[in-house]
Structure 1
Amino acid sequence: MPAWHDGNHQRMIGPNTGIGVFTATRAEYGLLRPVLAAMETSATIRPHLIVAGAHLSSRHGATLAEIEADGRRPAARVPSPMAGDDGLSAAQDMAATLSGCAEAYAALDLDAVLILGDRTEALAAAAAAVPLGLPILHLEGGHRTAGAVDDAIRHAITKLAALHFTAAEPYRRRLLQMGEAPGRVFTVGSTGVDNLTAFGRSTPAEASALTGLDLPPGFLLATFHPETLGALSPARQIEAFLGGLTGVEDRVILITLPNADAGAEAIREAISAFAAVRPGRIRIAESLGARGYVAALTACAAVIGNSSSGMMEAPAAGVPVVNVGDRQAGRLRTPGVIDCPLEAEAIAEAIARALSPAFQSMARSQPALFGDGHAGERIVSILEATDLKGLARKPFVDLDWT
């Protein structure tokens, strides 16, 4: 990994530096937990948790309860209508999030805002910081996900952000290609790997106890989100995905429900109908929480679907992955990830391959791509050694074409 600091980042921040930490989904909060934990032990940084989106929506699990169960209280709540799951509703939710975040940032008198990832809510939260002159600290830039609108959102946040914390060196280089200054881009690893390190591996019995679900040995963990740039409708997408799972008759399948993306409602309805006629074989979870999800991931026989955790956390845990369709196209991956098209027969064949003893053994032996489990500590260490004043004024570094 590269050095964490250069000559532009040597002045220590002052005491009681207020950093807003924005979260709108269960998965996002799980990835922010290691950073929040490190901030909470810092002598100079005061994190202010700003909660929005699905955390405040009963239709999506009201996952604020998971945050509060960790002993954290939000400094601000930013509700949005979340009345539908189409593009217009997403844009309306973005407008509400932008307005609410701007009010929260001003009221909290922040010095910077930390934002993770590439969701529509994250873009709104980033845009709210710009007219207020607040530096944006961005995690997980530089990825490519060609099958989802997230790709454009992620790169847009990169251009708004003042500091960048990437999961791998190729992602850092991509940000440099986008004109970001080398002294502002740091490869720290993935906080998802931090969670694996913190929680450790679980047996199926332990995962069952943590999640409250019956998860016998050999169970599969499946997640499918809409391909928001896909040619097929969400209903056709999930039909093909579930068709690939139909042939798995000798194992329990734990299906986690999708995020609040455009088209997610059709996927939720199809999963519910699929499970209703297979009550002894299908388990459904709205949200497992960070600890429960890691327990299920490390205890399962394979991960199936199109979640980013199949590209990052599962390979780090040595768990075979069947990556379906194009949602994650462009991400770094280990040989323990099997890519297959969004077609029922191809999915069934890939699952059989992933469950073979030879492939299971190979997946367990792959080197980690996304850090050593200390990303959160590195991020906070860098922030403690960075002067945030004036950081919102960004340089643009042109490539040398000679």
Structure 2
Amino acid sequence: MKAISPRKICFITGTRADFGIMSRLMKDLSQVEGVTLQIVATNMHLSARHGMTVDEITAEGLHVDERVEMDLSGDDRRSTVKSMSQCLGGMADALDRLKPDICVILGDRYEMLAAASAAMIMGVPVAHLYGGEITEGAYDDSIRHAITKLSRIHFTSTEEYRRRIIAMGEDPSTVYRVGALGADNIASMSVMTLGELEESLGMSLSDEFLLATFHPVTLEPGQAAAQTRALLEALEERLGQTKVLFTMPNSDSEGDTVASLIAAWAQRHPGCVKAVASLGRARYYSALRHCMAVVGNSSSGLTEAPSMGVPTLNIGNRQRGRAQGATIVNCEATRGDISAGLDMVMSREMRDRCRRNPDNPYAFHGTLEAIMKVLLSTPLPLPAFKPFYDVAW
């Protein structure tokens, strides 16, 4: 591929999750004639407490052009809003220095709302990966829809989500159904053997381990501790049957509370439980390949695990409303419900069925190529005005 005109494409990344999804796209674009790749790292990437995952970006041979610091010392909503304001100012400075032609933003986190707001006001068109989705249990849902209205180019994972963005007034010619990059990455990525993964983690896993991630549910304030304890108690009942590999939660309100409970539980069960701030892309996908099931409330359990043929226990309301396939079991965030759900996803019957018939509504042939084609062929600069598209009623 080749860009129709020279362009600076700037990726904003704030977490291990969005970088893991976008890294292959970044690398491929960096090799295209006429493209200058720019990367702005912010939020959890720059936090030692969250694994200083900016190092994962540079370890993959990519250059970080700007670092936008955010104060993540607080664990409440007020602290989140204040860190957003810090991100907004830092993004204005970063974009002013870089002067990109397009900003690429993935997802629905609060730092991405700050980044999209800064880009829109500074006249930099935003290409948004994965609007139109629904996650009713988190304020991410409102943030995602807000980013849609701040964006000029839209990539969706399903046709339903494409139609929803058009219904929000976006021109159909700017909305592209491309599938989920995470699912596309899995299809093309080689993973570690179980032995290599065990050596990297310093832990014996066998093939009977659970991969767990549990984030605070931001529209259920004050419930994070009780929900986390319910999950840990249900898992503890099964430590004789299985081991647990935990990835730590994100930097949302009450994230520190969840992380502290998980860390303390892991310390009480050395040899059976391992909790890591960040696995990194290679180890995470390798763990997905070898685990018996995914447990928690991360979107990865719905969008990526199905492509591995791995069942997912989706806990609580955080992902409520998101499309899901037959490999997903939903449960309430109570000990009894989680325990019953674990029985289902750990059963040999369900595991065999998921391996035989992976069902992923987010899978789409040629996702990466489709995104690249749009980013390289869109005429620049875009018109300053964005008309509202009215659908027929």
- Normalised to the residue count of structure 1, the TM-score between the two structures is 0.93
Residue 389, structure 1, aligned to residue 381, structure 2: yes
- Secondary structure of the equivalent of 1:14? coil
Counterpart CA distance in 2 for 1:210 and 1:73 is 25
Q: CA offset at residue 275 of structure 1?
A: 1.5
Counterpart CA distance in 1 for 2:383 and 2:236 is 53
The one-letter code sitting in structure 1 at the alignment partner of 2:230 is A
CA contact (8 A) 1:191 1:374 kept: no
2:49 corresponds to which of 56, 59, 64: 59
Q: CA offset at residue 356 of structure 1?
A: 1.4
1:231-260 per-residue CA deviation (whole Å, 9 max, x = no partner) reads: 652111211221221211221100110011
The one-letter code sitting in structure 1 at the alignment partner of 2:304 is E
Q: How does 1:240-259 map to 2 (within 5 A)?
A: 240-249=230-239, 250-259=241-250
Matching residue of 1:7: none
Q: CA offset at residue 374 of structure 1?
A: 3.3
Q: CA offset at residue 193 of structure 1?
A: 1.4
1:244-303 per-residue CA deviation (whole Å, 9 max, x = no partner) reads: 212112211001100111101111111122112211211111100011100001110000
When residues 166 and 275 of structure 1 are mapped into structure 2, their CA distance, relative to the original with a 3 A threshold, is same
When residues 189 and 209 of structure 1 are mapped into structure 2, their CA distance, relative to the original with a 3 A threshold, is farther
The one-letter code sitting in structure 2 at the alignment partner of 1:37 is K
Counterpart CA distance in 2 for 1:392 and 1:260 is 35
CA contact (8 A) 2:191 2:282 kept: no
Matching residue of 2:107: 117
> Quick one: higher RCO (CA 8 Å, sep 6+), 1 or 2?
1
Corresponding residue pairs, total? 390
Consecutive unaligned residues in structure 2, runs of 5 or more: none
Residue 278, structure 1, aligned to residue 269, structure 2: yes
Matching residue of 1:148: 138
2:211 corresponds to which of 217, 221, 229: 221
The one-letter code sitting in structure 1 at the alignment partner of 2:385 is R
Matching residue of 2:320: 329
Residue 165, structure 1, aligned to residue 155, structure 2: yes
- Normalised to the residue count of structure 2, the TM-score between the two structures is 0.95
Q: CA offset at residue 325 of structure 1?
A: 0.2
Matching residue of 1:3: none
The one-letter code sitting in structure 2 at the alignment partner of 1:134 is V
1:90-148 per-residue CA deviation (whole Å, 9 max, x = no partner) reads: 11111111111111111112111111000000000000012211101000111110111
- Secondary structure of the equivalent of 2:203? coil
CA contact (8 A) 2:214 2:249 kept: yes
Q: CA offset at residue 342 of structure 1?
A: 0.4
Matching residue of 1:237: 227
Q: CA offset at residue 32 of structure 1?
A: 1.1
Counterpart CA distance in 2 for 1:290 and 1:306 is 18
Matching residue of 1:6: none
Most deviating of 208-217 and 289-298? 208-217
Matching residue of 1:98: 88
Matching residue of 1:262: 253
Q: How does 1:122-133 map to 2 (within 5 A)?
A: 122-133=112-123
Q: CA offset at residue 83 of structure 1?
A: 2.0
- Secondary structure of the equivalent of 2:121? coil
Consecutive unaligned residues in structure 1, runs of 5 or more: 1-10
The one-letter code sitting in structure 2 at the alignment partner of 1:199 is M
Q: How does 1:242-391 map to 2 (within 5 A)?
A: 242-249=232-239, 250-364=241-355, 365-372=357-364, 374-391=366-383
Counterpart CA distance in 1 for 2:183 and 2:21 is 9
Q: CA offset at residue 213 of structure 1?
A: 3.5
Q: CA offset at residue 391 of structure 1?
A: 4.4
Counterpart CA distance in 2 for 1:55 and 1:201 is 23
The one-letter code sitting in structure 1 at the alignment partner of 2:391 is L
CA contact (8 A) 1:53 1:121 kept: yes
**Where in structure 1 do 4 or more consecutive aligned residues deviate above 4 Å?**
none
- Secondary structure of the equivalent of 1:311? helix
Provide the aligned C-alpha RMSD in A: 1.6
Most deviating of 294-303 and 264-273? 264-273
2:5 corresponds to which of 5, 14, 25: 14
CA contact (8 A) 2:167 2:391 kept: yes
